[in-house]
Amino acid sequence: MCGIAGFCNFTADYLLQENYWHDCLVRMRESIAHRGKDNVGEYLNKHVGFGHTRLSIRDVSHGKQPIIRRVGDAEYVIIYNGEIYNTDELLPELKRAGYHFETTTDTEVILYAYIHYGIDFVDRLNGIYAFAIWDDREKMLLLYRDRLGVKPLFYTIKDNTIIFGSEIKALFCHPQIKPEIDINSLREIFGIGPARTPGNGVFREIKELLPGHYIRFTVNGLSDTLYWDLESREHTDSFQETVEKVSYLVRDAIIRQMVSDVPVCSFLSGGVDSSIVTAVASDYLRADGSFLNTFSFDFKENDIYYQANAFQPERDRPFVDIMRKKYELDRHTYLECDEAMLAELLDDAVRAKDLPGMTDIDASLMYFCSLVKLHNKVALTGECADEIFGGYPWFYRDELTWADIFPWSRDISARTMLLDDSFAAELRLEEYIKQRYNETLQQVPYLEDEEPAEKRRREITYLNIKWFMQTLLDRMDRASMFNSLEARVPFADHRIMEYVFNVPWEMKYRNGVAKSLLREACRDLLPAELLNRKKSPYPKTYHPGYEKLLKERLSEIISNKNSPIQPMIDIKKVQAFLKEPAVYGKPWFGQLMAGPQLMAYLIQINYWLEKYSPAFIS
């Protein structure tokens, strides 16, 4: 993976101040250098500038970017962040067409595919990506993002200039862009966060290119094109045919994503999803005489303080041990994080994301990724299976399924109970959240005459893919790339999403078993104890020392009159909250963010306001 950044203005001539604008590109890509430190490069011409920082995975020696190619009398330039998994299928026709390849990178394949097939060539790609292409013949800048939004790409337009980058911080390195927020920014933070409305960068006028979209920027302005989305189709396959198709798609996606010129490892949580990925990857490497590195995550003394609840019924480690035994995973590493490190990394997690996030859940993953990076550059993960196969409790618990709101964030009161009353009234969070929710429901592609229950499951699936999954993908990208680690997500293969989106709920929840379709499709891969395991999310700490550290830090914030969050919260309410024992089993976001994470979220908001000092625009 890599980091990309750049700008374009058709009324400017950047070459008149070449050194100044070159230095600007350097600052932009240096701000995201953590995404890859193996190589750097810039490109500057009259109207456009590109900057790139590289994590070398394919053609380690010769894949430096930007890649510049001349075809006829025209020049084409690309900067790219991602991985294309079907380059071997694209290469033969491009070679027959006469294109000469100087590298074995997927970057060069993308550029020639654009030149050969035209602007809609992206339909041919299987992968995760965000890239920019400068077409000097057409005087056109193109920005593309992958179908499911695995790789990020932010942009803004100011005074006829489009400025873009893999992370928001890169945009702030451009002289025309300063951090600003408005009332809707605060509604996103307090009402939607740690999720974000699709396409919303929270900072004022900062946008994120939507998944499955590309942007064309020319002298005539900007146009945004949807090239892929989920579609509803009648599912005619029998259950057995569906099982066989899912079995093929899942295994093919995992094997495709083993492509790399450096060793690949896997995150093994002991859950069904990561175990399936690990099983296929391990078998694939063993056939070639190689071995898979695997890593699992937990928290220090969780064996003492762990508290079982409806959302997290059991610990992971016993199931990791079962997988280790079955697949002889001798190269497995148990990683642990203590409460002090977790609290210390809350600020780093904000810097990684440029926004408050999933607090210690982000911070712990960042820490674990920093340890994995000592061994590997590329990791396979089990993310994104629950969203499409129906693994979350809001797919099958009626009180969550039929709640007329985002089911992972049902309790709005938890978001407002510590806010200043007048500030909460100004935010009008319930109205804002409801509007975002209804906007998404209007986009759901229904089948005609769908039964109400099936229609609602389709809505829940669509909401999960467009919202909740994006939050987890953001988390995975920033946590891994902050440490120059590439995390791949086989279950986010668009072919899996397209097919399973239309599979009836009765096949996904057969005999009342969550994700029964996936379990059946991969029955031969997993031991029975693991195959039948109930869903248990990413682990979190239950150590009382962590709660103590949070209370101490939040107490310092509310006692400091200069704390930027102070006008937004009710000090007396916070003080009373700090005196109560934290509630672990009642999440206010997802399945993990409960009482301690509410404290941590306020801490992150305060740090975010201090770090970025955004000007408030009314």
Active site residues per annotation = 2
How many CB atoms lie under 10 A from the CB of residue 553? 17
318 φ, ψ to 5°?
Answer: -60, -35
Distance between CA atoms of 566 and 582, rounded to whole angstroms?
A: 21
Distance between CA atoms of 281 and 328, rounded to whole angstroms?
A: 13
Distance between CA atoms of 84 and 32, rounded to whole angstroms?
A: 22
For the chain, the distance separating the N- and C-terminal CA atoms, rounded to the nearest angstrom, is 38
| Residues 383/476, Cβ–Cβ less than 8 Å | yes
3 state DSSP class of 223:
strand
Distance between CA atoms of 498 and 249, rounded to whole angstroms?
A: 11
Q: Please give the angle made by the CA atoms of 255, 256 and 259, to the nearest 5 degrees.
A: 100
Chain-centroid distance, C-alpha 270: 21
Report which secondary-structure segment, H or E, holds 249.
Answer: helix 239-256
Query: % helix / strand / coil in the chain, to the nearest 5?
Result: 45, 15, 35
| Residues 486/377, Cβ–Cβ less than 8 Å | yes
Distance between CA atoms of 469 and 6, rounded to whole angstroms?
A: 27
Q: Which two tokens stand for residue 499?
A: 């097919």
How many CB atoms lie under 10 A from the CB of residue 415? 23
Distance between CA atoms of 427 and 524, rounded to whole angstroms?
A: 52
| Residues 234/504, Cβ–Cβ less than 8 Å | no
Helix 106-117 / helix 87-96 crossing angle, nearest 10 deg: 50
3 state DSSP class of 461:
helix
Distance between CA atoms of 137 and 71, rounded to whole angstroms?
A: 10
| Residue linked to tokens 């980058």 | 165
Distance between CA atoms of 174 and 528, rounded to whole angstroms?
A: 55
3 state DSSP class of 343:
helix
Distance between CA atoms of 323 and 388, rounded to whole angstroms?
A: 24
| Residues 429/412, Cβ–Cβ less than 8 Å | yes
| Residues 370/332, Cβ–Cβ less than 8 Å | no
Distance between CA atoms of 115 and 118, rounded to whole angstroms?
A: 6
Distance between CA atoms of 163 and 51, rounded to whole angstroms?
A: 11
The DSSP bridge partners found for residue 215 are 143, 224
Distance between CA atoms of 433 and 187, rounded to whole angstroms?
A: 8
How many CB atoms lie under 10 A from the CB of residue 44? 20
Distance between CA atoms of 53 and 81, rounded to whole angstroms?
A: 9
Distance between CA atoms of 548 and 578, rounded to whole angstroms?
A: 10
